[in-house]
A = this chain, B = another copy of it.
Amino acid sequence: MGKGARTRATILAAAAETACLAGFDGLNLQPLADKVGMTKSGLYAHFGSKEALQIATLEYAAELFQARVVAPAKTEGAGLPRLAGVFGRWLEWPANAALPGNCPFFAGVVEFDDAAGPVRERLVRLFRDFRAVVEQLVASAVRHGHLGAGTDPAQFAHELLALRYAHHWAQGFMHDPAADARTRAAFARLVGGRA
Residues of A within 8 A of B (CB): 21-23, 101-102, 106-107, 109-114, 124, 127-128, 154-155, 158-159, 161-163, 165-166, 169-170, 172-174, 178, 182, 185-186, 189, 193
The 7 A-B pairs of least Cβ separation, nearest first, read A162-B166, A162-B162, A165-B165, A110-B110, A113-B173, A158-B182, A109-B173
Query: A193 to chain B: which residues have CB within 8 Å?
Result: 189, 193
Query: Copy number in this complex?
Result: 2
For residue A186, which residue of chain B has the nearest CB? B159
Residues of B near A185 (CB, < 8 A) are 155
Task: From B107, B154, B163, give the contact of A110 (CB < 8 A).
Answer: B107
Q: How far is the CA of A106 from the CA of B169 in the complex (A)?
A: 9
Contacts A186-B159, A193-B193; A113 near B172 (Cβ below 8 A): yes
Contact in complex: A114, B165 (CB < 8 Å): no
Q: Tell me whether A186 and B162 are in contact in the complex, defined as CB-CB below 8 angstroms, given that A21-B114, A23-B110, A111-B110 are known contacts.
A: yes
Flag if A166 contacts B161 (CB, 8 Å): yes
Please tell me if the beta carbons of B165 and A166 are within 8 angstroms of each other in the complex. yes
Contact partner of A22 (CB less than 8 A), chosen from B22, B23, B114, is B114
